[in-house]
Amino acid sequence: MPINLETVTSNLTSVSILVFALGFLAAQFSAKVRLPAQVYETITLFFLVAIGLKGGVALNQHWSVEMILPVIVSVCLGALIPFAAYWVLGIVSRIDPLNRGSIAAHYGSTSLVTFTAALYFLDSQAIEYESYLTSLLVVLEIPGIIVGISLALRSQPKAKDASGFGKAVREVFTGATVFVLVGATLVGVLAGPRGYAPVEPFFTGLIPGLLVLFLLHLGHVAGSHVADLRKAGFGLFAFGILFPLAMGAVGAAVGIAIGLTSGGATVLATLVASASYIAAPAAVSIALPKANLSLAIAPSIGVTFPFNLTVGIPLYFLMATWLETLL
């Protein structure tokens, strides 16, 4: 596929991006546009079930040994990214090892909404991608959190708490993100196209509208962390942009190298470039009670999420498309 700059620039004027900007602006004027907690949780569950079912049905129809290598590579990336984040943070900031591990856990994990936005970007441009990418979301979610927490605990010899670490690992596997996503994927595999058909209009039809509503809320959340970012310093802000950009380039290159389409490589790049603000905070708060969560959440949702949403995803698509033309 030839590189189409119009495809990339059109993302900036999409309703989703503009509504996110509206939410961010609302936070600066203290306008209350956040969703109630129950509504936020409901929409999150909707996305988890919708993505899981779609991926499961696709696996039912197109199961292939070709997905084994991408899954293995994703696990390796998920385990290595926290080490890279921990090391880079030690260079660009004065953040202590405990909080560096906390941030590394967030950046080693993934963002469900960024993943959803990447799929929506590709679907809106009629760009094809592999049907099993939901499985990559699942396997990337887990190792990054565990490795990041381990790095933080290793730096605190007097604070090592096996029970706390064990609780955190259980939280990773039984938290809504992994548990519901894996469960919905299995349901999709078992139900197949025939079982999925009656509910398909509900799940596929509501995704664009609910994504816009969700991004309005997240725009406000991101805007609310501006003060935290100022306190943290420029190093953390720069990390929130440059580290995901570097990881996105790695993800795009690896994706093309292992045989993914440019669309699939774009999604892999987006996943490794994203940062968690749902699953990781829950696990980190259990395993690292002394860590300052705002230091991790502020860059992940205040810098990295908006960057990926507006510029990152189209850039990763450009990278993947360019690399595909070389091979």
Q: What pLDDT digit, counting tens, does each position of 284-310 carry?
A: 888 888 888 888 988 999 899 999 999
Q: What does CATH list as the number for 34-323?
A: 1.20.1530.20
Cβ density class 90-115: b for 16+ within 10 Å, e for less: eebbebbbbbbbbbbbbbbbbbbbbb
pLDDT at 163: 61
When pLDDT is cut at 50, 70 and 90, the band that residue 161 belongs to is low
Domain boundaries, the chain: 34-323
What is the value of pTM for the model shown?
0.85
All residues at 6 or more sequence positions from 109 whose CB lies less than 8 Å from its CB, including other chains: 78, 140, 141, 144, 145, 148, 275, 276, 279, 280
In this predicted model, what pLDDT tens digit does every residue of 78-101 receive, in sequence order?
A: 999 999 999 999 999 889 999 999
Question: How do residues 34-80 score in pLDDT, each as one tens digit?
Answer: 889 899 889 888 988 998 898 888 888 877 788 889 989 999 999 99
Q: Residue-wise over 52-82: b if at least 16 C-beta within 10 A, else e?
A: bbbbbbbbbeeeeeebeebeebbbebbbbbb
